């Protein structure tokens, strides 16, 4: 009988994909790019960053501080993974935005763009709110897993089809607080 209890190796035993410094540098670069794209184009309205909980919370916080244009943020929560390492394919909205975004410049902020199912669903949902513009920022882009045609406007890093943890990203709700991005070992998942 296969091991159904996941193993939780210590993060320090996992290979680092991107260091805390690399992430900080790239996030500042994206913040500068967003600043350049929106400076003078918001009609005095703040940009609304909408983070996808829980994974994007840390990236959103760092990104918001790196943008030199007035911004505010809100959050949505969806479920497509549960406790699995692979998306179930069914996206379920758990928490919608709290404030209206009609006529505002919106950037959806995600931790990782892989199949595209979640962001495609959220893009459609946000467009129903009639924002002035809608863009997507993601910390990680995993194009090898794409199932629907969607691309992010701002990408910190492209990665191969490997499971990662840290910097907000988890395995079974663990490792979110690891400050760099690490490769989660396949054998640790018990599969």
Q: Is the Cβ–Cβ distance between 89 and 120 less than 8 Å?
A: no
- Whether a cis peptide bond, with omega within 30° of 0, leads into 183 is no
d(CA 116, CA 143): 9
d(CA 87, CA 103): 32
Sign, CA torsion 93/181/145/66: positive
How many CB atoms sit inside 10 A of residue 43's CB? 9
Residues designated as active site: 114
């Amino acid at each position: 009988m296969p091991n159904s209890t996941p193993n939780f190796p210590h993060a320090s035993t996992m290979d680092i994909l991107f260091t805390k410094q690399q992430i900080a540098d790239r996030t500042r670069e994206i913040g500068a790019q967003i600043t350049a794209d929106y400076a003078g184009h918001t009609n005095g309205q703040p940009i609304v960053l909408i983070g996808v909980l829980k994974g994007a919370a840390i990236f959103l916080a760092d990104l918001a501080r790196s943008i030199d244009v007035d911004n505010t943020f809100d959050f949505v929560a969806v479920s497509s993974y549960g406790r699995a390492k692979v998306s179930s394919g069914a996206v379920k909205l758990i928490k919608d935005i709290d404030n209206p975004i009609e006529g505002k410049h919106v950037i959806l902020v995600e931790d990782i763009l892989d199949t595209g199912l979640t962001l495609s669903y959220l893009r459609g949902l946000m467009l129903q709110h009639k924002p002035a513009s809608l863009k997507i920022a993601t910390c990680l882009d995993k194009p090898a897993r794409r199932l629907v045609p969607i691309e992010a406007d701002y990408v910190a890093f492209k990665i191969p089809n490997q499971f990662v943890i840290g910097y907000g990203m988890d395995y079974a709700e663990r490792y979110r607080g690891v400050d760099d991005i690490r490769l989660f070992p396949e054998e640790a998942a018990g599969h």
